[in-house]
Amino acid sequence: MFLALPFLLPGIFMSSMSANATAPADAIEQRVNTLLAEMTIEEKIGQMSQVNGGDSYIHDYLRDALRAGRVGSVLNEVDVNVVNELQRIAVEESRLGIPLIIGRDVIHGFKTVMPIPLGQAATWNPVIVSSGARVAAREAASVGVNWTFAPMIDISRDPRWGRIAESLGEDPYLASELGTAMVRGFQGDDLSAKDTIAACAKHFVGYGESESGRDYATTNIPENELRNVHLRPFHAAAKAGVMTMMTSFSDLDGVPATANEYLVNDILRGEWGFDGFVVSDWDSVRQLSIHGLTANDRESACEAAIAGVDMEMHGDAYLNHLAQLVDDGKVPLEAVDTAVANILRAKFRLGLFENPYTDPNDFPPFADADALETAREAALQSVVMLKNEHHVLPLSADQLSSIALIGPLADTPYEQLGTWIFDGDPRYSVTPLGAIETLVGDGVDVRYLKAMETSRSRDTSAFDEAEALAAETDATVLFLGEEAILSGEAHSRADISLPGAQAELVGRIRASGKPVIVVILAGRPLTLTNIVDEVDAILFAWHPGSMGGPAIADLLFGIESPSGKLPVTFPRMVGQIPIYYYQKNTGKPPSPETIAHIDDIDAKAPQLSLGMTSFHLDAGYTPLFAFGHGLSYAYFNYENLTTSTSEMALDGSITISVDVTNTSGITADEVVQLYVRDLVGNVTRPLRELKGFRRLTLAPGERVTVDFELTADDLAFYGRKMQRMTEPGEFHAWVGSSSEAGLMAEFRIVGER
């Protein structure tokens, strides 16, 4: 039952409560400064400290800490009555009555689960990404959560890394566009509204470059790469008004991010003017000593505070040591005051001083029609059709008398939700099996066999039955991939092929001689080389969330056309990693004429017989599936690529236009992609760089002209002196359906820099 609680603030601060959270910034700053002036050093450090809850009751020690003002945030409590009681103690029984900010990992949904973020990135649709975050914010806010630790906008180019599932892919432009969309969805137009929550851009910065894809491992990123690639989504999030940022677990060139003053104070605060607050990752302040940067918790607290980490997540280094560090002159009081001001500013902007309590009756029920439709549409747009030989898809319910659904992931309500779904409710999941049975009704005999207990199983005892079932039916759809637990934090894999005996199952089903369609549910790109030639079609569905089943069913049977595009490159084998479209040319670039395969080399061949270019003897230089790749049931023709000018001034702009026609007989979506190359630069530039995209819905025969406008600033980069610059010179531009295809045009930037 909701607790109707009074709200009183003691002391002089009551007089300032007539202002609201939508007040001008200077009014909020006045309130921050007024409150800060009343705080003791212990109360300030309390605001900088977050404690873990989640026990659905309040321990006596936590009650005492709240009354003493030693807690600024509580993590992982989602019982609304407990949250309201925590807030009541904080605002009514503490000296200054400062409300709490309640944090929770609401990564891709709360009760209603959207596709994993990497799947959402495959939609290439900021609108649907924002809508999914809006649903998540509304559901989380209904239980008192007002802060989420998303979006994760680490550039992720190693699919072995488990947390690639939480990312928005390998490209800084796409991650920037979708990351800011997610921020807008969580935070809305008015942060003080009841159904909005503060977003947190993480992990600042470079976490996706962890060596060998091992979670928490070292990252070594040159500053030029850091600025041109990894910092870009975070800068975009800061400009979009993200309320908080989280430091990375990993070190960066020898300095852990949680103690990296250059990153936090110089770049984030100094260069970008970020005025939200920075939180450490889980216990990462104390972990500075494990890294070997500090000798103990006291030194760790000192390093993190000086670096500009405002709040310590689930640790007590600040509580135990920061006051003495200030007394000893090791940490300036001004650093503490700045941190506390940043936290208080966020709480005022969220309207927590006016409305600290939550009434669930102010919100719609979980998994309402709007939430489920958003989840269905997100899943539908996220699925990528990698292959469709002989047009085996779409299936026709009118032409099938029977179909076999085989595999460990055809009917797993929990597994389809994916990683990081603490609050996700499998009761709301509609599985592919259930959705297909509903769609085809009694007209098609749907035969289901799990065949493997889990995706990791090596037990092949059911494979004879599976092969017989495939032979007896008109077509087989295999539901393969990874269980949710195989991706996410601390779940990195060195071998990213299909786990267990799944590849053997594919071979057995192929032997039936009937059409074989594979639907893969996974948290990362997989190496599919060992099965890609054994199947007729592949739909890559990621972990598609609550409504993955209806989306997959609609795609299999042609109710909808696949429209997802890969946000990350798929390697042929692990040894190619890192492989991504954004690569540079090198001094010896490969070409089809300069490579050879290891099996084609003659015995005692001379050492210099293979062209001396950059490739792998056993894998070549191309991926299995390229960034931006994704097939459709429709056909789209690109023609008439033009530029508005052949020469663009440094203070001007250029419009790149292309005509796109749906030449098929069905309505379908296409994602039109613009790539650019700067041919000569102050530093070497990528072979192709995404600069724009547009998702279109085209009716049969419909033709549209798509315009992309670029300014000189859109073509800027960081040069040798780490200054952002746009250079005059020659550029190539491509527009097409992936990073590999497209028409090309040329233009030139003229002028003096």
pLDDT tens-place string over residues 243-273: 999 999 999 999 999 999 999 999 999 999 9
> Which pLDDT value is given to residue 690?
98
Contact in structure between 627 and 571 (CB atoms under 8 Å): no
Phi-psi region of 224 (alpha: psi -120 to 50; beta: other; left: phi over 0): alpha
Buried b (16+ CB within 10 A) or exposed e, 429-457: bbbbbbbbbebbeeebebebbbbbebbeb
Q: What is the DSSP letter of 311?
A: B
* Size of the chain, expressed as the number of residues it contains: 753
Is residue 716 included in any domain, yes or no?
Answer: yes
Query: What percent of the chain stands above pLDDT 70?
Result: 96
Relative to beta strand 743-750, strand 516-521 is unpaired
Kindly report the pTM of this predicted structure.
0.96
> Which pLDDT value is given to residue 607?
80
Structure tokens at 700: 């049969």
> Which pLDDT value is given to residue 18?
32
> Which pLDDT value is given to residue 21?
40
Is residue 662 included in any domain, yes or no?
Answer: yes
Mean pLDDT of 395-407: 97
Q: How far apart are CA 665 and CA 677, in angstroms?
A: 35
pLDDT tops 80 at residue 1:
no
pLDDT tops 50 at residue 597:
yes
Angle at 473 between CA 467 and CA 479, to 5 degrees: 60
Among 540, 571, 46, 579, residue whose Cα is nearest residue 311? 46
What is the number of domains present in the chain? 1
Q: How far apart are CA 416 and CA 413, in angstroms?
A: 6
Range of weakest confidence among 17-31, 405-419, 430-444, 528-542: 17-31
Query: What would the DSSP string read from start to end of 554-602?
Result: HHHTTSS------SSPBPSSGGG-S--TT----SS---GGG---GGGPP
Question: Could you tell me the pLDDT band of residue 56, with boundaries at 50, 70 and 90?
Answer: confident
pLDDT tops 80 at residue 130:
yes
Q: What is the DSSP letter of 124?
A: T
Question: Could you tell me the pLDDT band of residue 600, with boundaries at 50, 70 and 90?
Answer: confident
pLDDT digits (tens, 9 = 90+) for 479-509: 999 999 999 999 999 999 999 999 999 999 9
Mean pLDDT of 394-422: 97
Is residue 743 included in any domain, yes or no?
Answer: yes
Contact in structure between 657 and 644 (CB atoms under 8 Å): yes
pLDDT tops 60 at residue 20:
no
pLDDT digits (tens, 9 = 90+) for 306-345: 999 999 999 999 999 999 999 999 999 999 999 999 999 9
pLDDT tops 60 at residue 680:
yes
Structure tokens at 291: 């890294």
Is residue 682 included in any domain, yes or no?
Answer: yes
Question: Could you tell me the pLDDT band of residue 601, with boundaries at 50, 70 and 90?
Answer: confident
Contact in structure between 252 and 219 (CB atoms under 8 Å): yes
> Which pLDDT value is given to residue 23?
60
pLDDT digits (tens, 9 = 90+) for 348-371: 999 999 999 999 999 999 999 999
Q: How far apart are CA 306 and CA 330, in angstroms?
A: 9
Question: Could you tell me the pLDDT band of residue 27, with boundaries at 50, 70 and 90?
Answer: very high
pLDDT tops 60 at residue 19:
no
pLDDT tops 50 at residue 531:
yes
Domain ranges, residue 686: 636-750
Is residue 665 included in any domain, yes or no?
Answer: yes
CA distances from 726 to 223, 653, 749 (A): 18, 13, 9
Mean of pLDDT over the chain: 95
Question: Could you tell me the pLDDT band of residue 8, with boundaries at 50, 70 and 90?
Answer: very low
> Which pLDDT value is given to residue 16?
35
Mean pLDDT of 568-577: 98
Question: Could you tell me the pLDDT band of residue 55, with boundaries at 50, 70 and 90?
Answer: confident
pLDDT tops 80 at residue 9:
no
Phi-psi region of 558 (alpha: psi -120 to 50; beta: other; left: phi over 0): left
Is residue 155 included in any domain, yes or no?
Answer: no
SS3 27: helix
Is residue 29 included in any domain, yes or no?
Answer: no
pLDDT tops 50 at residue 119:
yes
pLDDT digits (tens, 9 = 90+) for 717-753: 999 999 999 999 999 999 999 999 789 999 999 987 6
Q: Supply the CATH number for residue 717's domain.
A: 2.60.40.10
Contact in structure between 235 and 241 (CB atoms under 8 Å): no
> Which pLDDT value is given to residue 610?
67
Amino acid at 659: D
Burial class (CB in 10 A: 0-12, 13-18, 19+), 646: exposed
> Which pLDDT value is given to residue 3?
41
Which residues are catalytically annotated? Answer: 281
> Which pLDDT value is given to residue 323?
98
Relative to beta strand 647-649, strand 653-662 is unpaired
pLDDT tops 60 at residue 6:
no
Q: Which residues pair with 204 in a beta bridge?
A: 247
Range of weakest confidence among 407-416, 525-534, 608-617, 627-636: 608-617
Write the CB contacts of 218 (distance below 8 Å, at least 6 apart in sequence): 210, 211, 250, 251
Is residue 672 included in any domain, yes or no?
Answer: yes
